[in-house]
Amino acid sequence: MMVAGSGMKIWRDRTVDFVAALVAAAAAAAASACAAAEPSAERQRELVNLVRQDCGSCHGMTFRGGLGPPLTPEALREKPAESLALTILNGRAGTPMPPWRQFVSEAEANWIVEKLQKGFADEAH
């Protein structure tokens, strides 16, 4: 009896290890795919125009603030990128910040956040 129980435990442990390895591999693949999901050069130009014109109309043309808060690297430094991307996609209830989900994908929102956190406002027009 002890041998059968011991064998079952080994099988269960190996199964758990295998499933954990699969989950880790899937997570790594998803992270890699997200990192590689940079918009095309043409779409980047469209997004830059959207951010400068549409976001700039509330956040200031230099992103130093206006109706909306500043979008400078300093202002965004402590903000989680995921939260910022969700704000772009879903807007902010109770504020003038509208959702942009119909205009940008999740990957594009992440790209915009990355650019804003690195100094998008300082790039040449």
Please check whether residues 28 and 48 belong to one and the same domain.
Answer: no
70 neighbors 62 (Cβ within 8 angstroms):
no
What per-residue confidence (pLDDT) applies to 120? Answer: 75
What per-residue confidence (pLDDT) applies to 37? Answer: 76
pTM of the full structure: 0.68
Distance CA 29, CA 23 (A): 10
Q: Which domain holds residue 8?
A: 1-36
Mean pLDDT across 20-48: 68
Pair of tokens at residue 19: 């499933």
Please check whether residues 2 and 23 belong to one and the same domain.
Answer: yes
- State how many domains the chain has: 2
DSSP label at residue 63: S
Please check whether residues 5 and 55 belong to one and the same domain.
Answer: no
Distance CA 2, CA 5 (A): 5
Please check whether residues 108 and 74 belong to one and the same domain.
Answer: yes
Block residue for tokens 């997004």:
47
Q: What is the DSSP string of 12-73?
A: HHHHHHHHHHHHHHHHHHHHHHHHH-PPPHHHHHHHHHHIIIIIHHHH-TTSS-SSSPP-SH
Residue 25 predicted with pLDDT over 60:
no
pLDDT tens digits, one per residue of 60-103 = 999 999 999 999 999 999 999 999 999 999 999 999 999 999 99
